[in-house]
Amino acid sequence: MRTRPLKVALLGCGVVGSEVARIMTTHADDLAARIGAPVELAGVAVRRPSKVREGIDPALVTTDATALVKRGDIDVVVEVIGGIEPARGLITTAFEHGASVVSANKALLAQDGAALHAVAEEHGRDLYYEAAVAGAIPLIRPLRESLAGDKVNRVLGIVNGTTNFILDKMDSTGAGYQEALDEATALGYAEADPTADVEGFDAAAKAAILAGIAFHTRVRFDDVYREGMAEVTAADFRSAKEMGCTIKLLAICERAADGGSVTARVHPAMIPLSHPLASVRGAYNAVFVESDAAGQLMFYGPGAGGSPTASAVLGDLVAVCRNRLNGATGPGESAYAALTVSSMGEVVTRYHISLDVADKPGVLAQVATVFAEHGVSIDTVRQQGRPDGDGEASLVVVTHRASDASLSGTVEALRKLDTVRGVASIMRVEGE
């Protein structure tokens, strides 16, 4: 074993960063044995140096992150500060000064991953980011390495624990959206401002990363269709149960049937109770991968939190340090396929549409005619009058597979019927 330690700079010492530092200290001997050399925490960049950080030597703490990554003797920079800047500049500077980088920064990687990979390659350094997508769940490395000889066709998953907790609570207790969100906030699963989670921004960044790796194509955050879950209601869950389904906020990355394009999207969807993702409860994550040779694979586990995310960071740290000792680098960006990223209008799936209609003869025929005129085939229809006898009824239509564009045209035409009082909800049905 080499006795000279590999030096690590830690950028950020919050929930994840402090756990990374703790594991590096308490598991130092095991890490050294696995790597083949000791690892030394050489500096910790923070915004508030006066804060007491248990187990970290105050002499290592600095507010000058740029000076830390420019030192020249740093082997690996671990970036867990998040956001676009200053993280992007610090990572680039680290590469330029000879360090490899381990990051958990999904937003930055989804926006500028290609540029960062290019700088890493230019300087012969590694960029690893297992922790950016699903916490402790090993997912990026299996896609990038274990399935490198296979053809991945679809990645379908729950990649945000906060939203899964909220939807699971609505499903199991009948609670409304706001009530479930309030509970998630009280328990610490949701931030004070939950927008990034419930509006799908977090999941969309992860979908961009997954699609890029799975399909060997550059997919950026702006390429991902995103739809939040604030409009999901208890009534939607009742409808889902009548169909033998539940509702999840899904990240879906798909290769087109002809293999020439891909799509990436995030939105709420009904999935059959028989699908493995339907049983994912609480704040857990799970990702379902479908490929030609391996078939169907499912990755499941805690997707957030200090310890799970730190586990993924340390796994990358060990891999990068091993590469460093061997004078090698691991897999970089693979975008050779350069497939077209299609718009949401071209996506084909099933739909569940709930309409408020006049309770009188002929309404169903009118509605069915509109669907037929737009080339959307109906699978099932259910109409139920209102017990209060107000002259209106609920009409639920479940379609066969249709494109998003054709469904949009159908709904626009339905709104023009004087017998249709309103469109109560529209939800995609996935996981067949």
Which pLDDT belongs to residue 50?
85
Q: Is the pLDDT of residue 385 over 80?
A: no
Per-residue pLDDT, averaged over 161-174, amounts to 96
Which pLDDT belongs to residue 390?
72
Please give the Cα distance from 251 to 228 (Å, whole number): 11
Q: Give the predicted TM-score (pTM) of the model.
A: 0.94
| Residues classed as catalytic | 206
Q: Is the pLDDT of residue 290 over 70?
A: yes
Sign of dihedral through CA atoms 405, 409, 414, 416? positive
CA-based nearest residue to 203, from 147, 157, 239: 157
Which pLDDT belongs to residue 386?
67
Which pLDDT belongs to residue 431?
82
User: pLDDT, tens digit, for every residue of 348-377?
Assistant: 999 999 999 999 889 999 999 999 999 999
Cα→Cα distances 161→157, 316, 391, Å: 11, 22, 42
Q: Is the pLDDT of residue 54 over 90?
A: no
Angle between helices 106-122 and 87-96 (to 10 degrees): 20
The string over 106-128, giving b where at least 16 C-beta atoms fall within 10 Å of a residue's C-beta and e elsewhere, is bbbbbbbbeebbebbeebebbbb
Element of type H or E holding 247: strand 245-255
Which pLDDT belongs to residue 388?
64
Which pLDDT belongs to residue 387?
63
Are 21 and 55 spatial neighbours (Cβ–Cβ below 8 Å)?
A: yes
Work out the end-to-end distance of the chain between its first and last CA atoms, rounded to an integer number of angstroms: 52
Are 57 and 37 spatial neighbours (Cβ–Cβ below 8 Å)?
A: no
Residue 193 makes CB contacts below 8 A (sequence gap 6+) with: none
The model's confidence at residue 31, banded by pLDDT at 50, 70 and 90, is very high
Which pLDDT belongs to residue 304?
76
CA 95 to chain CA mean position, Å: 27
> For 135-206, where are the E strands, in sequence order?
152-158
